[in-house]
Amino acid sequence: MFGKAITGGALLLATSLTPVWAQDNKAVTIVLNEEVDVLEPCMATRSNIGRVILGNVNETLTELDVRGDQGLMPRLAESWEQMEDGSWRFHLRQGVTFSDGSTFDAQDVKHSFDRVFDPTITCEAARYFGGMTVAANVVDDQTIDFVVDPVQPILPLLLSLVTIVPAETPIEFVRDPVGTGPYAVTEWSPGQQIVLTRRDDYWGEAPEVTQATYVVRTDPAVRAAMVEAGEADIAPTISQDDATNTATDIPYLNSETVYLRLDASQAPVNDVRVRRAINMAIDREAFIGTLVPQDALLATAIYPPTTQGWNPDVQVPAYDPEGAKALLEEARADGVPVDTPITIFARTANFPNVTEVMEAIQQMLQEAGFTVELQMVEVAEHEVYYSKPYPTDRGVYIIAAMHDNRMGDPSFSAYFKYHSEGRQSGISDPHVDDLITRASAATGEERNKLWSELQAYVHDEVVADVLLFHMVGFARVAERIDWTPTIATNSQLQLSEIGFKE
């Protein structure tokens, strides 16, 4: 009885509705994997929000080129220079209007900045300015100075993370973001869809896409099915298992690095031989093309190879279980308590196949002679182990985590992960601290050289952690769409980069 109703309804539907799905216009539907909680411009560095509004609704002064190798490009700023006192002067673009009709000028930039640091709201963009004081001083309508203490060599890069809103924007979070971008939000039904419509008065070149509808499906198989069924045009993340059609499914390095953090303050992990043995006991190659996508890279740093100051000479530790055993025996002979049970904590659903990867690592470590337990935990509990102050009553543990650095500069990782004061650091090494401090303040070739040195030192001498993979994501793109994902796709999806075939 019920089956008949379905069949009947479905037939009716097939004749009446199909044309609506098979859009042949320039509107696109994008199916995202995570709910969009707020549409607040100052939260655009959070990936679920940035994917929708960053570069589409709200723009930034500068922009990192993730498709070519132009480095930092102008967007709302036309040019910038560092003044003699170390502060930065930005010259703003003229003839730019917000979607509410007001004109863009230096006051808007100042207000956007003040808003980010306002104590009555929590803006995520503030995280990139830790340990600095930033003052934005309006020089004239088209010029603004940033005085940063201490002097910040990568300030222009940091400004690619601060979205610009009109000076009239209230301090509290907004639900109808106004920006200078090529699109404006025209509909938001929470839980159902967000619609962006192209603006006619955009300052730059008009993009091809006229309208974009965003929907959210948390199940990866459904996202893949939606593009296949023609209900969506782009699914930025689908699972490795579903990525079976080479014509539509594109792998891309997604700026995430998977690693195991070792806490060098706990015995036996405080012994460098033990840390080396852990590294040698893991057969990283065996994961590639099996539990981890074929295109993933073995990691030698906590940030991806496209980052400034990348050191190509650092080698992945060779898989050597016998060598690991020998090192362990050596340590044991010196009285290191190598039999102490170690727990691996990992987060469920952190990345695809995380449980299987961790089970395999557990077995590899056990084969090398470690006593290892595995515990999968939910995100809140994971955070307890991941960040300082570390719990002291849980025994010796290793934490598996994934770190994202898409910004192209190691400073977004190094301090947090390796400085002795860093919130997720497992080491305390004065030379590392010194290198980080010097590299952060340096510019040009000197900066690259110092970061290279740090990468090699942390990896080869300190053996701070177990770096595993630079991860790969898969996007499914409808055949009519001309678009390729980039390393930044996780956090930003500019509609202006989407074209149509034919």
Q: From the CB of 427, what's the least distance to other proteins, in Å?
A: 17
State which residue, 308 or 353, has the beta carbon closest to other proteins: 353
DSSP character at residue 171: S
Q: From the CB of 372, what's the least distance to other proteins, in Å?
A: 10
CA distance 490 to 71: 19
State which residue, 254 or 353, has the beta carbon closest to other proteins: 353
State which residue, 137 or 363, has the beta carbon closest to other proteins: 363
State which residue, 48 or 270, has the beta carbon closest to other proteins: 48
CA distance 25 to 127: 41
CA distance 26 to 380: 42
Q: From the CB of 104, what's the least distance to other proteins, in Å?
A: 25
Q: From the CB of 205, what's the least distance to other proteins, in Å?
A: 33
Grouping H, G, I as helix, E, B as strand and the rest as coil, residue 210 is: coil
Note the residue count of the chain: 502
Which of 152, 186, 115, 219 has its CA nearest to residue 409?
152
State which residue, 250 or 360, has the beta carbon closest to other proteins: 360
CA distance 446 to 141: 35
List beta partners, residue 58.
54
State which residue, 125 or 463, has the beta carbon closest to other proteins: 125
State which residue, 73 or 379, has the beta carbon closest to other proteins: 379
- Residue 60 sits at φ, ψ, to 5 deg, of -120, 170
Grouping H, G, I as helix, E, B as strand and the rest as coil, residue 44 is: coil
CA distance 28 to 493: 13
Q: From the CB of 363, what's the least distance to other proteins, in Å?
A: 5
Q: From the CB of 328, what's the least distance to other proteins, in Å?
A: 21
State which residue, 227 or 327, has the beta carbon closest to other proteins: 227
Which of 154, 297, 256 has its CA nearest to residue 488?
256
Grouping H, G, I as helix, E, B as strand and the rest as coil, residue 125 is: helix
State which residue, 144 or 226, has the beta carbon closest to other proteins: 226
DSSP string, 274-340: HHHHHHHH--GGGGBTTTB-TT-EE-SSSS-TTSTT--TTPPPPPP-HHHHHHHHHHHHHTT--TTS
Q: From the CB of 155, what's the least distance to other proteins, in Å?
A: 17
Strands 72-74, 183-189: pairing kind: unpaired
Strands (E), 83-204: 88-92, 133-140, 143-149, 183-189, 193-198
Which of 229, 222, 197, 223 has its CA nearest to residue 25?
197
Q: From the CB of 219, what's the least distance to other proteins, in Å?
A: 5
Greatest pairwise CA separation for the chain in angstroms = 81
Contact 225, 21 (CB under 8 A): no
- Residue 311 sits at φ, ψ, to 5 deg, of -105, 105
Distances (CA, A) of 88 to 76, 123, 134, 144: 15, 23, 11, 8
State which residue, 376 or 432, has the beta carbon closest to other proteins: 376
- Asked, as a colleague might, if the bond just before 312 is cis with ω within 30 of 0, I would say no
Q: From the CB of 11, what's the least distance to other proteins, in Å?
A: 7
Structure tokens at 324: 């690991």
Q: From the CB of 10, what's the least distance to other proteins, in Å?
A: 3
State which residue, 92 or 262, has the beta carbon closest to other proteins: 262
CA distance 488 to 407: 9
CA angle 129, 39, 74 (to 5 degrees): 55
State which residue, 191 or 430, has the beta carbon closest to other proteins: 191
Q: From the CB of 385, what's the least distance to other proteins, in Å?
A: 11
State which residue, 118 or 141, has the beta carbon closest to other proteins: 118
* Residues in Cβ contact with 480 at an 8 Å cutoff, skipping those fewer than 6 apart: 24, 233, 500, 501, 502
Q: From the CB of 355, what's the least distance to other proteins, in Å?
A: 6
Q: From the CB of 118, what's the least distance to other proteins, in Å?
A: 9
